[in-house]
């Protein structure tokens, strides 16, 4: 078989040893996903449930283009993969834990079974196991988010304009953008504005809150170029 076949050759005539377990529950929730999200979720499922585990570590490159024993990937662009991953996390299918560089750990969200056998709200397996050892998890998470916001504010000051106040609105806007973009993407948006005379002039007269005010605004800045977030590892 070719490495990148242009036409599907057909399913194997024998089902034995030519399949992996697919969660039947998804039949009732596929309508929540668009095409890109479905492809990314199937890729993750194959590398988790397909190998009798609930999480796996992989890179954006692997999800997009595959490689080696993991096939040819989803065929999506880096941007589509990142957007789909964030949407899958927002919709409760997976959780994402950032690792080194462009690699993250993706964990399936499992239903938590209570003492009487009842299923309660969804909780990632690794988080369920860690609950007894992390009494101050919410405080830790809060501090981590604050540090990320402070770091992004420092980058904004270095790249766009220093002396701007980090208001409550600015903090909320930056926090919201972290739910939609990787930090590397936000840095590239900052650099793209700096290199564009028109937008640089506007940004220098506006506030930090204005720059991070919406997903659409950041997407507009990312589209300016010349910096491409997928090739830039600075955060």
As a whole number of Å, the CA-based R_g of the chain is 21
Q: 181 or 138: whose pLDDT is higher?
A: 181
**Does pLDDT of 37 surpass 90?**
yes
Q: 231 or 53: whose pLDDT is higher?
A: 53
Say how far apart CA 163 and CA 3 lie, in whole Å.
54
In angstroms, how far is CA 2 from the centroid of its own chain?
A: 31
Where along the chain do its domains lie?
A: 24-133, 137-229
Say how far apart CA 60 and CA 74 lie, in whole Å.
10
pLDDT, tens digit (0-9, with 9 covering 90-100), for 1-15: 445 567 787 777 776
Mean pLDDT score, 202-214:
94
Cβ contacts of 144 within 8 Å, gap of 6 or more? none
CATH architecture of the domain covering 24-133: Orthogonal Bundle (1.10)
pLDDT score recorded for residue 112: 61
**Counting beta carbons within 10 angstroms of the beta carbon of residue 32, is it exposed (0 to 12), middle (13 to 18) or buried (19 or more)?**
middle
**Counting beta carbons within 10 angstroms of the beta carbon of residue 36, is it exposed (0 to 12), middle (13 to 18) or buried (19 or more)?**
buried
pLDDT, tens digit (0-9, with 9 covering 90-100), for 173-193: 999 888 878 888 888 899 999
């Amino acid at each position: 078989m070719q490495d990148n076949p242009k036409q599907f050759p057909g399913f194997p005539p024998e089902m034995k040893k030519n399949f992996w377990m697919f969660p039947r529950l998804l039949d009732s929730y596929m309508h929540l996903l668009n095409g890109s999200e479905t492809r990314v979720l199937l890729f993750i499922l194959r590398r988790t449930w397909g190998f009798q585990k609930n999480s796996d570590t992989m890179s954006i490159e692997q999800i997009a283009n595959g490689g080696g024993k993991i096939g040819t990937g989803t065929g999506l662009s880096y941007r589509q993969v990142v957007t789909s991953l964030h949407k899958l996390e927002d919709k409760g299918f997976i959780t994402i834990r950032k690792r080194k560089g462009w690699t993250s750990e993706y964990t399936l969200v499992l239903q938590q079974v209570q003492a009487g056998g009842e299923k309660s709200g969804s909780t990632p397996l690794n988080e369920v196991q860690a609950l007894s050892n992390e009494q101050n998890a919410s405080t830790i998470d809060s501090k981590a988010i604050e540090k990320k916001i402070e770091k992004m504010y420092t980058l904004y000051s270095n790249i766009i304009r220093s002396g701007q106040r980090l208001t409550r609105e600015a903090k909320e806007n930056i926090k919201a953008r972290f739910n939609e973009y990787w930090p590397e993407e936000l840095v590239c948006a900052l650099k793209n504005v700096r290199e564009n005379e028109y937008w640089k002039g506007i940004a220098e007269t506006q506030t930090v809150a204005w720059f991070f005010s919406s997903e659409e605004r950041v997407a507009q800045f990312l589209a300016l170029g010349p910096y491409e977030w997928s090739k830039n590892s600075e955060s």
